[in-house]
Amino acid sequence: MDELIIYKIVLIVMFVTAPIVFLYLLFFPAPYGRYARQGLRMRIPCALGWFVMELPAAMVMLYFFLTGPKLTIVYCFLILWEIHYINRAFIFPLRLPNLFKPMPILIPIMGIIFNIINGYTNGMALTRIYVYPLSWAYDPRFILGSLIFFTGFFINQHADDILLKLRKSNQADYQIPVGGLYRWISCPNYFGEIIEWGGWALATWSLAGFAFFIWTMANLIPRALAHHKWYLKTFAHYPKNRNVLIPIFL
């Protein structure tokens, strides 16, 4: 089958399945971390889980760039993508306080499938589907999108950092996170991640980037709602004025 047709079919599947995943996750949070279910017996160390599920995204994108046309501007996209995924596959897992905490194997399996598909659509878009002239470097969508991407990245990093330090100070239990955007929302790490991929969608101005943004929201909005509900249920003195995910709005 023609490469372009496969790309289009995969994108349509992504757009159609995102709302289904969103609805499913509203009722059944992904079973890792505080929602890991006892019934899921096959488990691997969580650091290994994060590594194997995030690495394909970095590798698939690299493949498309190594085999695609050598246009200077698209290398900026490669850099943004790899900054995120090198952190997520290599640095984030090593910063986990307990590298061996069991993670149901279902999570890395789903993650690998998603990251291969998403790496494929974004790699195709950037190197085979769209043509980005050098003047894209001065386009407001590229400049603003890249700024939004880095803003989201730093919000995500800072919020994850607060959580990982909390976990280090008390390996056994969850605590109420404080500081940074936790003053206003329960899940600034997810807020940052959503902003990041929103910036990516804008900077690349591609359907593949937009599909990834939609999928990130489909994954993380239900998880943020579940976390917020869990905090309120678990801690009687949890700040009542704290929002779920977006300061003031949600």
Applying CB under 6 A, which residues contact ligand NDP?
33-34, 96, 156, 160, 163-164, 166-167, 174-175, 177, 189-190, 193, 216, 219-220, 223
Two structure tokens written together for 149: 């991407």
Residue closer to ligand NDP, measured from CB, 11 or 159: 159
Closest CB 58 distance from ligand NDP, rounded Å: 14
Q: Report d(CA 204, CA 90) in Å as an integer.
A: 25
Closest CB 133 distance from ligand NDP, rounded Å: 30
Residue closer to ligand NDP, measured from CB, 62 or 96: 96
Q: Report d(CA 60, CA 114) in Å as an integer.
A: 12
Residue closer to ligand NDP, measured from CB, 78 or 194: 194
CA distances from 98 to 70, 164, 167, 172 (A): 41, 10, 9, 10
Closest CB 115 distance from ligand NDP, rounded Å: 10
Contacts of 54 (CB under 8 A, 6+ apart): 85, 88, 89, 92, 111, 115
Closest CB 138 distance from ligand NDP, rounded Å: 29
Closest CB 74 distance from ligand NDP, rounded Å: 22
Q: Report d(CA 226, CA 233) in Å as an integer.
A: 10
Q: Report d(CA 7, CA 9) in Å as an integer.
A: 6
CA distances from 18 to 40, 185, 197 (A): 24, 24, 15
Residue closer to ligand NDP, measured from CB, 44 or 163: 163
Residue closer to ligand NDP, measured from CB, 125 or 194: 194
